[in-house]
Amino acid sequence: MLNKRDQAQDSYPAGNGTPERPRITQVDNAGESARQSGNWLVRRLFDLAGQPPVAVRLWDGSEYASSRTEPVARLHIHDRRALQKLLGNPHYEFGELYSAGRIEVEGNLAEFLDVVYRHLHKVRRDGLRGRLVRLLARRQGNTEDRARQNITHHYDIGNDFYRLWLDENMVYTCAYYPHSEAGLELAQTAKLDHVCRKLRLQPGDRVAEAGCGWGALALHMARHYGVHVKAYNISREQLAFARERARAEGLDDRVEFIEDDYRAIQGEFDAFVSVGMLEHVGVDNYGALGETIDRVLAPHGRGLIHTIGRDAPGPMNEWIERRIFPGAYPPSLSEITEILEPWGLSVLDVENIRLHYARTLEHWLERYDANADRVRDMFDDTFVRAWRLYLAGSIAAFTSGALQLFQVVFNRHGSNELPWTRDYIYREPA
């Protein structure tokens, strides 16, 4: 039951004082001592977050909520120092404190983060600090050495770990669900086909793949479309797995897995494809990526880039960037054009399937949660919580629109080897 305290609006700390701002009210029975200990700090936290409809419960049992709507979930903050840290650097400390178990979310973690992200978007959009952060956000370049360290950090955690929650083909990118109720295995295969159809692959085509993960797309293209693939990756663990699969399936004459950076691609290719690599490239290197594509793509060649993106340039979440994905940056469409426009590459088709990534992540999180004990055995509790937050936070990022998923199809300026319409993508296979 809400126990609404009658508190004057102007006693709130400074924030975006719009007339419709809801009051943060203490809703429990903890009394005066709680108010003294956490009240002011919690109000400031709600201000920073743009007044999302969530409840906060402190270490002493006192509870707070926005007066406007029913809370979506409840954030438990287990000690005073945790609350202070959260206020000092919320985007980073939320992840740190959650991983350490010093804060917890009661209710659906992804739904909690979805409403928080939506409210943060408004704060960011309107605030000066947000604009400054956006200006500074994109300046990061990954040298080849730095790229290698970053990729090792994430992808060389161990194939056994990823096997616990990815599909059987180890596809670690957004799936494509032909119907919203499709399962993960079907949707990952459908994604591979969606990409291949968009590339209009023909038997005998030479394909360059930049950032091939565990090799699922390269093997799928060779197996089902009869093409020859040179697939590049700088994660040794992934490549060992991919090469073993190519041998086991007798595809090693048609798929060459090369341990090298995209900048090292050599040859001429009928198709260039990159699925889930651009996030690790860094905007400063988009020129180098475009130059690579321009250097290796045949005159009639087609290209596809599949990447996490944003509606507008913005900062990567600091915790994700430091703890999960060093060097990662999801670009906006204007930033993606920096790869293509200087080389006169011609955009034919852009599709945004962000809700498919939310669904993919829901499937991953379900399997991850079911295997939490095995993850704990491999690592520890902090790791289990950190990756749970990463997966749930990513669901929320895609459902709230903080992240997008773009597939961009392009060819060379003036090449008229184009499909007449996009029907061919949606026609049943012959």
Residue 346 lies near a second copy (rule: CB under 8 A): yes
Q: Which residues pair with 208 in a beta bridge?
A: 230, 272
For residues 141-180, which are near a second copy according to CB under 8 A?
176-180
Residue 88 in tokens: 């000092």
Q: Which is nearer to a second copy, 102 or 359 (CB)?
A: 359
Q: Which is nearer to a second copy, 85 or 412 (CB)?
A: 412
Among 133, 164, 348, 372, binds a second copy (CB under 8 A): 348
Residue 36 lies near a second copy (rule: CB under 8 A): no
Among 87, 133, 333, 378, binds a second copy (CB under 8 A): 333
* Total length of the chain: 430
Those residues with Cβ within 8 angstroms of residue 125's Cβ, 6 or more apart along the chain or in another chain: none
DSSP secondary structure of 367-379: HHHHTHHHHHHHS
Q: Which is nearer to a second copy, 254 or 306 (CB)?
A: 306
Residue 19 lies near a second copy (rule: CB under 8 A): no
**H/E element, 351:** strand 345-352
Query: Quick check: 210 and 429 in contact, CB under 8 A?
Result: no
Classify 87 as helix, strand or coil. Answer: helix
Query: Quick check: 331 and 307 in contact, CB under 8 A?
Result: yes
Residue 121 lies near a second copy (rule: CB under 8 A): yes
Residue 119 in tokens: 């409210």
Query: Quick check: 98 and 104 in contact, CB under 8 A?
Result: yes
Residue 61 lies near a second copy (rule: CB under 8 A): no
Among 118, 146, 197, 224, binds a second copy (CB under 8 A): 118
Q: Which is nearer to a second copy, 15 or 401 (CB)?
A: 401
Q: What residue spans of 231-325 are helical by DSSP H? A: 236-248, 286-296, 318-319
Strand order in the sheet with 55-57: 24-26, 63-66, 55-57, 74-77, 103-106
Q: What's the one-letter identity of residue 288? A: A
Residue 240 lies near a second copy (rule: CB under 8 A): no
For residues 256-315, which are near a second copy according to CB under 8 A?
311-313
Give the per-residue contact string, 370-409, with a second copy (x = CB under 8 A; - = no). -----------------------------xxxx-x-x---
Looking at 25-33, 105-113, 351-359, 377-385, which segment touches a second copy (CB under 8 A)?
A: 351-359
Looking at 206-214, 245-253, 274-282, 338-346, which segment touches a second copy (CB under 8 A)?
A: 338-346
Among 19, 88, 203, 414, binds a second copy (CB under 8 A): 414
Q: Which is nearer to a second copy, 10 or 420 (CB)?
A: 420
Looking at 28-36, 80-88, 230-238, 326-334, which segment touches a second copy (CB under 8 A)?
A: 326-334
Sign of the alpha-carbon dihedral angle for 148, 149, 155, 156: positive
Residue 116 in tokens: 């928080």
Q: Which is nearer to a second copy, 83 or 396 (CB)?
A: 396
Chain centroid offset of residue 148 CA: 19
Looking at 9-17, 154-162, 328-336, 386-394, which segment touches a second copy (CB under 8 A)?
A: 328-336
Q: Given the DSSP bridges, would you call strands 255-259 and 55-57 parallel, antiparallel or unpaired?
A: unpaired
How far is residue 173's CA from residue 217's CA, in Å, rounded to a whole number? 11
Residue tagged 């809703």 (tokens): 27
- State the first-to-last Cα distance of the chain, in angstroms, to the nearest integer: 62
**H/E element, 302:** strand 297-309
Residue 197 lies near a second copy (rule: CB under 8 A): no
Q: Which is nearer to a second copy, 117 or 165 (CB)?
A: 117
Residue 347 lies near a second copy (rule: CB under 8 A): yes
# binding residues, a second copy (CB under 8 A): 47
Exposure pattern of 365-396 as b/e (b: 16+ CB <10 Å)? beebeebbeebeeeeeeeebbbbbbbbbbbbb
Looking at 201-209, 211-219, 265-273, 414-422, which segment touches a second copy (CB under 8 A)?
A: 414-422
User: Minimal distance in Å, beta carbon 408 to a second copy?
Assistant: 8
Q: Which is nearer to a second copy, 151 or 195 (CB)?
A: 195
Among 423, 428, 429, 430, binds a second copy (CB under 8 A): 423
Query: Quick check: 137 and 316 in contact, CB under 8 A?
Result: yes
Q: Which residues bind a second copy (CB under 8 A)?
A: 118, 121, 125, 176-180, 311-313, 332-334, 337-338, 340-342, 344-353, 355, 399-402, 404, 406, 413-416, 418, 420-423, 425-426
